[in-house]
Amino acid sequence: MPARLTRERFEAARAFMADRATPLDFALWRRAFEGGDGEAVIAALTPFQNPDGGFGHGLEPDLATPASSAIATSVGLRHLVRAGAAAGHPMVVRAMGWLAANIQDGVWPIVDAHVEDAPHAPWWGFDADLPARWLGFCFNPTAEILAWTYALADAAPAGMLAEAEGRMRRTIAEIDIITGAYDLRCAALLAEAPQAPADLRAGLTDLLLRSVAAHDPTDEHAPVLDLAPTPASLLAGPLAGHIDAAVAELIAGQQADGGWAPPEGWNWAFIDAAAANHATQVWRGTLTRLAVEALAAHGRIEGGARA
């Protein structure tokens, strides 16, 4: 019989979220499982947005700088869409303004020099090799930002959208395979964005199918249920043979306190123990929410749960 999260362990996860998750993650949990109001998500997200419209302040937990960054802004837009914010919402309008001011040759550099103003994990270090480490930012974060921009297109400056779309089309035509784990995840979000042009989605889908065929399903940076968080996900079919094992592994990873924890390779206490410990605690709430959402979407919780 396929593995399922028991009701007892589901309730343990819920107690963990109530006691230890951030207000934002708990608001997102309540929206997913308890009919929570989108306004509660927006209220919890508000402190992370800067006057310039971008997001920062540790919204990406291992990146503590208060300054706006493209990676944090992609997360902010993700939550705004999840909360049901309309294109005319002031937070959306301000975010689009920041994106328009910070696009560079059709992509959004994932971080800038302000990353060095506060503690951060080593993979966020700002140096000359940053573009190479992140595949020129063509997918992470640009593909995800473009997905949310299509969803909120009425707020997006037309020139910005055209510039990003043109660069994405060139990227799809020029590369044979996506190798980065996070790049795969961001590309999948864009390929599944219903508001994106059909031909762009088709070309990206072909690229993703080639790429996932070469992807290691045990990669901790892009596990199967991250690439196929629901049975309707674009990559759920190609990864179908790995779903049961991924579900069993995810369930086994729940900690005694009801939460999930990041993989060992995420630990950066050797850089700054206090900052890394704080980031880990924040990230645990996010991981717990995402784990239970994926299990619910795949029908792997006893008694069922909506997500």
Q: Residue by residue, what is the 3-state secondary structure of 127-141?
A: CCCHHHHCHHHCCCC
On the question of pLDDT at 213 being above 70, the answer is: yes
Please write the tens of the pLDDT for every residue from 187-203: 999 999 999 999 999 99
| DSSP for 19-44, written as a single string | HHS-HHHHHHHHHHHS---HHHHHHH
Q: What is the rounded average pLDDT of the residues 95-122? A: 97
Q: How far apart are CA 16 and CA 300, in angstroms?
A: 19
- Per-residue pLDDT, 54: 98
In this predicted structure, the answer to whether residue 306 has a pLDDT above a threshold of 70 is no
pLDDT at residue 2, rounded to an integer: 86
Is 220's pLDDT higher than 90? no
* Amino acid 21: pLDDT: 98
Tokens of 302: 């006893």
Average pLDDT score over residue span 212-220: 88
Q: What percent of the chain has pLDDT over 90?
A: 92
- 307 pLDDT band (50/70/90 cuts)? low
- Give the sign of the dihedral formed by CA 240, CA 259, CA 118, CA 28: positive
- Tell me the average pLDDT of the chain: 96
Q: Which residue has the higher pLDDT, 133 or 99?
A: 99
Cα angle for residues 291, 292, 296 (degrees, 5° grid): 120
Q: Once rounded to an integer, what is the mean pLDDT over residues 122-129? A: 93
Topology at the third CATH level for domain 7-297 = Glycosyltransferase (1.50.10)
Residue 165: which residues within 8 A CB-CB, separation 6 or more? 146, 197, 200
Mean pLDDT of 153-174: 97
Mean pLDDT for 239-244 is 95
Distance CA 180, CA 186 (A): 10
User: Residue 303's pLDDT band (boundaries 50, 70, 90)?
Assistant: confident
Report the pLDDT averaged over residues 88-113.
98
d(CA 55, CA 117) in angstroms, rounded, equals 15
Q: Which residues, 6+ apart, have CB-to-CB distance to 306 below 8 Å?
A: 32, 33, 296
Cα separation, 211 vs 179, whole angstroms: 7
Measured between its terminal Cα atoms, the distance across the chain in Å is 22
Poorest-confidence range of 92-101, 211-220, 283-292?
211-220
Taking each continuous run of H as one helix and of E as one strand, the counts in the chain are 13, 0
